[in-house]
Chains A and B, each alone.
Chain A
Amino acid sequence: MEEKNITEQESLVIIQQMMNKTKEQLFDNSNLFLLWGFAAFICTVTQYILIKINIQNSEAVWIAMPIIAVIHIYIVIKQRSKIKVQTYNGNAISALWTAIGFAFISIVFFASQKINILPTIILLYAIGTFVSGKIINFKPLVFGGYISFLLSIAIAFIKDENQLILMAAAILISYIIPGFLLKKEYKNQQA
């Protein structure tokens, strides 16, 4: 492209071409979905096993989460230098997950009051994945969101440690599977 005069028709073609380039710009945040997905999945399954073999204070496995937060910050800083364009969609998704992150921190304090926080956590997963999926128009995330909404209702009918199985399912469907699909989609877009 160079500096030259154009006709009105050519103008419209340029505007359309350039806007299409930014419209489908997918920000590769699949690594973050996979990081939190796997971390939460492993913690959930480990806690379930610990309860089954009668080990006390099984909830201690969640101490791993602040470590994951540190890895998260490291990934974000490393990715920042690679990001050449900041889209409004990317910003909206960051804001959404920051808010959900704050909500998770707040919920941890309820856990210390012996309040069951699992339904709320699944509900937050559902909101995060559903809205992210809608923003970037990525169906696996939207689908994961719907399933997590259903699981957050189903959990009311399930007792004790079996709730952890639903939690693991929610993580698998709303984080891990869409995370892998998102990664694949991003690679296809780059190719």
Chain B
Amino acid sequence: MKTFTELDPILHSQLRLAIMSLLVGVKEAEFKYILEATQSTNGNLSVQITKLKEAEYIEVKKAFENNYPKTTCKITKKGTKAFEKYVSDIQKYLAVSRKS
């Protein structure tokens, strides 16, 4: 039987998985959009976005628009692959646990 440890630890966390699930379906999204969609807090979201960025799962662009900072996030190819692998791992895990 498969265990938790086999799942990608970067993705196997509530908020990071939510961010990746959002980004996998869009071209890019602003920080504010992710904040609203995940109903997270500013600080926590920033920390998790930084972790995903360090893992090279997402790209983060910082810009200014009308004098306000604008942070945009975009999933990378590495991130998409990791996400796909995570989903398939979970499916395998659930299939095994259903049989047992």
**Which residues of A are in contact with B by a Cβ distance under 8 Å?**
1-6, 8-12, 14-15, 17-19, 21-23, 25, 81, 84-88, 90-91
Contacts and interface: CB of A to CB of B under 8 A. Distances in A.
Contacts of A18: 18, 21-22, 25, 37-38
Contact of A11 (B37, B90, B97): B90
- Dominant SS at the B interface? helix
B40 A1 contact: yes
B39 interface: yes
Nearest to B66: A81
B87 A4 contact: no
Interface of B: 4, 7, 12-18, 21-22, 24-30, 32-33, 36-41, 44, 47-48, 65-66, 86-87, 90, 93-94, 97
Contact of A85 (B21, B26, B97): B26
A125 B29 CA distance: 30
A11 B25 contact: no
B93 A21 contact: no
Contact of B30 (A25, A85, A87, A91): A85
A15 B90 CA distance: 11
B27 A2 contact: no
Contacts of A3: 13-16, 44, 47-48
Contacts of B24: 19
Contacts of B90: 8, 11-12
